Structure 1
Amino acid sequence: MTITPIAGTAFVTERELFIGNEWRPGSTGQRLTVIDPATEQPVGSAAAASSADIDAGVAAARAAFDHGPWPRMTIQERAAALVRFAEELEKDAEAVTELLVAETGLILGQSRGGALTMPAMLRYYAGLADTFPLVEKRVGVTGFTARIEKRPVGVVAAIVPWNAPLALAAFKLPQALLAGCTVIMKPSEDTPLSAGYFADAALRAGLPAGVLNILPALPTESDLLVRHPGIDKITFTGSTTVGRAIATSAADTLKQLTLELGGKSPAVVLDDASLQRVVDTMVPGVTGNNGEVCTNPSRLIVPEHRKDEIVGALAEAFAALVVGDPRDPKTDIGPMITRKHYERVMGYLASATEEGGRFAVGGGRPPGLDTGFYIAPTIITDVSPGARVAQEEIFGPVLTVLTYRDEEEAVRIANGTEFGLSGAVYSEDFDHALQTARKINSGTVNINNSITIDIGVPFGGVKQSGYGRELGPEGLGAFLNTHVIFLDGEPLRTL
């Protein structure tokens, strides 16, 4: 394993597969090359798992669950292990931050936040160990007494996307591990290196062999993991297209699924909303994480008579943002993660002009940035609610502004996509905002804010944004099965 100093910090630039607490080369020798999206230069590479490697990883996780100590520990013992895991992860936080910048193009502050999300989440779930009910006794209607137990689901495949690879892994691993499951983490082929630090910390923290396995893989092998009969549950964050394919592949063996998929989140500005509040929250909401975030409030729905006022203020704020080197603390927006994704976002900008749209600001590559996959923060106006840029997930620093004549139309536009992940309502009248928020069909709605995610509150979508919930106690419950034992031994009685 090679350690190469980049940007003043030594981080690991070459990784193998992590199976059964061992680093193993991939059986075919195939590598996944990581390209720095700011420099377009190679950062390092990771082994790509073959079908044989997938089998080996599942076998290790299966043995650890079926015969190992992890699911047989008390939840308090597992919680203590999670705290040790968190402590070990924090020791590598600066190296991981530098690696995330190189791997994803996210700016320094957001990369540092990503590096620290997993330790925070591990500690939160460890703190639930003494309060989460795992056993209940209940007297049924027929008079029988039942012991109702919560037991770990089994072997979990955690499939993690590239846009926030460590932060979104933290939406899955702590809950699964505290529940007593064993895990195969499949990082994106675009960001396979940072996941290796989980393995390093797990070894130092003393997690038993096979409890955590890390297998970067290409799509064909990833599908084998989804279909594998040794997997009991899949938790996936990513696009709706891939989510549908996973649901189809998992159906043959009726695997349990948690799917957190795409979004096209609406932000409805009511007539009395504060302009300053809209600007202050929408700008980071749209451009944070380089705009590559599923909860991005990418559709701003405003009263017709306030359009020019709101668009003008937002365009001024967007134009003031610094696009450039993600390592520079002054930078607000870094590059898109890959050339392929850059070209995808640029394709949406082209489609906006084809459909009659106008760019209030942005609309392409920022001047002076000839290297790197950069796109200027962009506001699109004058398209219909049915336009591609108003219906499809762009996944970049792009905002589409739509107008309405009355609030009924505003709610209809807000609900008028296949997605239902997040949303927002802006108003100075709280009761009015709450009444409107309840009409928006999404997993989360924010009042006078663009994006809110809280560790202790369930997160997930409806419609084509997926199903199941992560975070909060509900996120832990997603990795537990309900097991019932009738205790009385009396003859069967019917209602």
Structure 2
Amino acid sequence: MALPTHFDSLYIGGSWVKPIGGETSAVINPATEEVIGKAPVGTGADADAAIAAARDAFDHGPWPKMAWRERAGVLQQLHDALMTRKEEIVQLCVAEAGSIVPVASIMQFDMAMDGLQYYIHQIERREFVTPSSVSAHTNWATGGETLGSTVKVYEPLGVSVGITAYNYPFFLNLAKLGPALASGCTFILKPAPQTPLEALILGDIASEVGLPPGVFSIVTGGADVGEKLTTDPRVDQISFTGSDKIGAMIQAQAAPTLKRVTLELGGKSAMIVCEDADLEQAAFAGLINLTNQCGQGCVLQTRQLVHNAIKGQYIEMLKAMASQVKLGNPADPDTGMGPLISAAQRERVLAFIEQGKADGNTLVCGGTIPPGMDSGFFIEPTIFDCPNNSTAIAQEEIFGPVVCVIGFDTEEEAIAIANDSQYGLSGGVFSQDPGKAYRIGMKMRTGGVLINGGGGRLNPSVPFGGYKRSGIGREYGEEGLNEYLEIKVIDFRAA
């Protein structure tokens, strides 16, 4: 059965419900500007209904009380149901988010499913009630000897809200749904307005596998919906992926009710290319960081710091590689880079490019809308040779296919430039001396470092997140599940 792409209802409390305002919006393919579906537009009142259902399901329903392994069985059914629809979901990622086929298939779908399976395995195998050692000590109240011990208990946190971005929407939706439901929380998903379909398709599948009423809701909409979800006292936790500016707003909105907030925010990550690096390997990594999802990725290493002895060669190699990338409709398997998500985002990127030129950076290639591409939100891969790290294009997250190549002479200078950023999400080091690369990576103030390109794929068993304005908290790993858990200590007298 083909996945639906036309929705006029929200998924609230386990049922499809018409939005109170009755409004729908067209969903646009960013490569063709054609309408590919429609989605309901939720309101604050719809968000209120979802919160009420989630609160009731957590306080009175079976989900948070269910045995961990029983809950894992339900989530395994969800995982397996999604797996049977891989081809259709990948096609939707291509059409709605503008992902090229390999990105849609591997980064959007496969990595999302790896993460969901990881959380299922974690709650199957992990112990959530753990005893401590027994101790004998003097009882301060009686003066006698007491034998006592404690147990540490992990419990579901409560009602969780996930707010996701448009760049990798299916992946991000599962990255929040997985740990929230695995922990026993009830969960409300608010997708980005540009990419609602990759969230709404989860509703029917959730009903198929028998999630209890109220455990999972999907509410689309704008800022009024987001503000209701982030301020309501019945919500216990917010997990947000998006810009640092919106993240700061969400943190402020959540503060009066003391919600737990997990923020996965922006980046301006640095890739250090040492003098002894494999230049072709480094330049290819530089190309991927330039073109992946048309540069709309928080972890992309868009500041490429290259030793001055090889900087000229690196720029020429990167420029030659970029010239071979085919731009076009991502549904074409030969396409190497698709579009930006919207006309507004393209205008933002073009404004940064003009600022980059005005600030004295040298435009190496790109910087314009490709000739003859009148439909779709395309822009050429753009490379700047930057004299320093201080200009706007080297400091601000552009979220488009723009990289800055900056030279350095010493290892210490490279580390200082890399750390001269308000962000700290990712980083990279290229060197044929792995010990040196590791030493440099240890000095980078960032949540993750890829040495010589890393393993090539997200490892869901290790935590992901950033320093500074790149976020608060972690996703994936035990740390990612712990964001959705409370810890209780029970202290008792053994004798």
Which range, TM-score by smaller chain? Answer: over 0.9
The equivalent residue for 1:460 is 465
Aligned equivalent of 2:151, options 147, 150, 155: 147
The answer to whether residue 220 in structure 2 is matched with residue 226 in structure 1 is no
Given that residues 98 and 293 in structure 2 are in contact (C-alpha distance below 8 angstroms), is that contact kept between their aligned partners in structure 1?
A: no
Structure 2 residue aligned with 1:75: 68
Q: For residues 298 and 161 of structure 1, what CA distance do their matches in structure 2 show?
A: 19
Point out 4+ residue stretches in structure 1 off by more than 6 angstroms.
none
CA distance in 2, matches of 1:140, 1:217: 53
Residue 49 (structure 1) aligned to one of 30, 42, 47: 42
Gaps of 5+ in 1: 4-8, 491-495
Letter in 1 for 2:30: P
SS in 2 for 1:195: helix
Query: For 1:384, which of 381, 385, 388 is the aligned residue?
Result: 388
Q: How far did residue 452 of structure 1 move?
A: 5.1
* TM-score, normalised relative to structure 1: 0.94
Aligned with residue 121 of structure 1, among 110, 115, 119: 115
Match of 1:282 among 283, 286, 300: 286
1:172 aligns with 2:176: yes
Distance between the aligned counterparts of 1:383 and 1:394, measured in 2?
A: 18
Conserved? CA contact 2:425–2:446, under 8 Å: yes
- The alpha-carbon deviation at position 20 of structure 1 amounts to 1.1
Alignment partner of 2:162: what SS?
A: strand
- Equivalent residue number for residue 160 of structure 1: 164
Instruction: Name the CA distance, whole Å, in 1 between partners of 2:111 and 2:271.
Output: 26
Tell me, yes or no, if structure 1 residue 100 matches structure 2 residue 102: no
Unpaired segments of 5 or more residues in structure 2?
138-146
* Stretch of structure 1 that moved more, 110-119 or 263-272: 110-119
Residue 213 (structure 2) aligns with: 209
CA contact (8 A) 1:365 1:376 kept: yes
Q: Which amino acid counterpart does residue 124 of structure 1 have in structure 2?
A: Y
Query: Structure 1 356/304 Cα, relative in aligned 2: closer, same or farther at 3 Å?
Result: same
Shift of 1:456: 1.3
Matches of 2:186 and 2:209 in 1, distance apart? Answer: 16
Question: 1:305 & 1:140 partners in 2: Cα distance?
Answer: 62
Q: Is contact 1:11-1:98 (8 Å) kept?
A: no
Partner of 1:272 in structure 2? Answer: 276
Aligned residues: 483
Distance 1:288 1:15 in 2: 32
Using the size of structure 2 for normalisation, the TM-score is 0.94
Asked if residue 14 in structure 1 is aligned to residue 7 in structure 2, the reply is yes
Which structure 2 residues correspond to residues 20-31 of structure 1 after superposition, within 5 A?
20-31=13-24
Distance 1:452 1:384, change over 3 A: farther
Where do 1:319-398 residues align within 5 Å?
319-398=323-402
Rounded Cα–Cα distance in structure 1 between residues aligned with 2:378 and 2:4: 25
8 Å contact from structure 2 (residues 387, 407) kept in 1: no
Distance in 2 between residues matched to 1:361 and 1:222, nearest whole Å: 39
1:170 partner SS: helix
Q: Cα distance, 1:477 vs. partner?
A: 1.5
Q: CA deviation at 1:51?
A: 1.6
Q: Which moved more, 1:360-369 or 1:341-350?
A: 360-369
The reply to whether residue 35 of structure 1 matches residue 28 of structure 2 is yes
What do residues 27-54 of structure 1 show as CA deviations (whole Å, max 9, x unaligned)? 0112233211111122222112212111
Match of 2:406 in 1: 402
Q: Does the alignment pair 1:87 with 2:107?
A: no
Output the CA distance in 2 between the equivalents of 1:440 and 1:107. 31
Within 2, Cα distance between the matches of 1:213 and 1:480? 20
Q: What is the match of residue 303 of structure 2?
A: 299
Contact 1:286 1:298 in 2 (8 A): yes
Q: CA deviation at 1:120?
A: 2.8
Letter in 2 for 1:51: G
Query: Do 2:72 and 2:124's aligned partners in 1 also have CA atoms closer than 8 Å?
Result: no
CA contact (8 A) 2:366 2:382 kept: yes
Aligned-pair CA distance for 1:489:
8.3
Aligned with residue 488 of structure 2, among 464, 483, 486: 483
Following the alignment from structure 1 to structure 2, what is the Cα–Cα distance between the partners of residues 32 and 144?
61
1:176 deviates by 1.2
**Deviations, residues 44-84 of structure 1 (Å, cap 9, x unaligned):** 22112212111100011111111111111111001111110
TM-superposed CA distance for 1:15, in Å, is 4.2
CA RMSD of aligned residues (A): 1.7
Q: Report the equivalent of 1:412.
A: 416
Among the aligned pairs, what percent are the same residue?
A: 37
Find the aligned partners of 2:212 and 2:260 in 1 and give their Cα distance.
24
